[in-house]
Amino acid sequence: MEHGSLTDLSSSTFSLIDEDHTLANSVRFTLNQDPRVQFCGYSIPHPSDNKVNIRVQTTGDPAKDVLKDALQNLMLMCKHVRTTFDDTVNDFRATEKVEHIDINSDR
């Protein structure tokens, strides 16, 4: 849900339901890396309600697009973390197996 001005699309607050610090802090990090962003932050109005308000103010581009780009960036970062992790675990397992075989061949 976007709360903003109809005339000025560059600043608005996005209210997300069923979200908390997990997504909001990560999105705030990726938003900050975007050079188009002038200000960004998030707040949780009340801890009992599952709502998060993300405020985005940009240097001219519509805030919705900037937020979408930040979320896409976050998705790509996660994908990269996943592939790097899988490769590292497979390499670790392969080296462990090699050591195991070496230990056995010493006997």
Give the binding site for another protein (CB under 8 A): 2, 14, 16, 19-23, 25-29, 32-35, 37, 64, 67-68, 71-82, 84-86, 88-89, 92-93, 96
Pick the closer one to another protein by CB: 94 or 101: 94
Q: Kindly report the backbone phi and psi dihedral angles of residue 28, in degrees, each rounded to the nearest multiple of 5, phi listed first.
A: -65, -40
Dist. CA 20–CA 1, nearest whole Å: 15
What is the nearest approach in angstroms of another protein to the Cβ of residue 21? 7
Evaluate whether 15 touches 3 at the Cβ level (below 8 Å).
Answer: yes
Pick the closer one to another protein by CB: 30 or 107: 30
Pick the closer one to another protein by CB: 25 or 43: 25
What is the nearest approach in angstroms of another protein to the Cβ of residue 47? 13
Dist. CA 44–CA 28, nearest whole Å: 13
For residue 105, give Cα distances in angstroms to 7, 97, 100: 75, 12, 9
